[in-house]
Chains A and B, each alone.
Chain A
Amino acid sequence: DTGVSQDPRHKITKRGQNVTFRCDPISEHNRLYWYRQTLGQGPEFLTYFQNEAQLEKSRLLSDRFSAERPKGSFSTLEIQRTEQGDSAMYLCASSPKLGRGFYDEQFFGPGTRLTVL
């Protein structure tokens, strides 16, 4: 296991369809993050898991978005009733939990590029 993997790498869908993305973190990392990135911008935080618990969600994550991390391993991000504004790169990152007073380095996957027609 050499890094964070994401599947699929590219997804083209029609408006109104549901899509699901998968992220497999680095095996010993207990934290997992989802971000969205649009062209020319930095990534925007969507949500974050520590083990299987979803601890924080951004206001960007509307009711059409849901994320899960069953058993604290891989994670899925589902978008229901996709809209053209959902077109973006969806990035997943994982990190280890460090000791007291030190905070973790994030390692990113290659991303899933979503195009909504």
Chain B
Amino acid sequence: KQEVTQIPAALSVPEGENLVLNCSFTDSAIYNLQWFRQDPGKGLTSLLLIQSSQREQTSGRLNASLDKSSGRSTLYIAASQPGDSATYLCAVRGGQNFVFGPGTRLSVLP
């Protein structure tokens, strides 16, 4: 059974810092991995999707990497802003549905 963990559970940084969020999964037989952000009480917003054949994806200040063999993905956020404050979730697809991690709650202080 696939299990997904995220470290740290919560993170507080001053504005402008570069930061890394971590996602680990136990079964490396995945089709893809997707990063989302979720604002309090809201649905999920897709940030980046990495197919199993890819090593990384970039969108603006975000860069996500995938190392299937070690069961890890990282989300790098450059020059963080207060608007980046949210919960960040990773989800892996192994089959027809996604398995989500519990998320990292990020606070960027002005």
Using CB atoms and an 8 Å cutoff, list the residues of chain A in contact with chain B. 4, 6, 33, 40-45, 48, 55-56, 58, 91, 93, 101-103, 105-111, 113
Contact = CB atoms under 8 A, between A and B. Distances in A.
B37 to A, nearest CB: 11
Contact of B102 (A41, A56, A107, A111): A41
Interface in B26-75: 31-32, 34, 36, 41-46, 49, 51, 53
Contacts of B12: none
B45 A108 contact: yes
A101 B43 contact: no
A108 B100 contact: no
30 contacts: A4-B43, A42-B4, A42-B89, A42-B101, A42-B103, A43-B44, A43-B100, A45-B97, A45-B98, A48-B97, A55-B96, A56-B96, A58-B97, A91-B43, A93-B44, A101-B53, A103-B51, A105-B34, A105-B49, A106-B46, A106-B98, A107-B46, A108-B43, A108-B44, A108-B45, A108-B46, A110-B42, A110-B43, A111-B43, A113-B41
Contacts of B7: none
Contacts of A44: 100
A113 to B, nearest CB: 7
Contact residues of B: prevailing secondary structure: strand
B49 A111 contact: no
A111 B43 CA distance: 6
Contacts of B108: none
A45 B41 contact: no
B9 to A, nearest CB: 9
Contacts of A55: 96
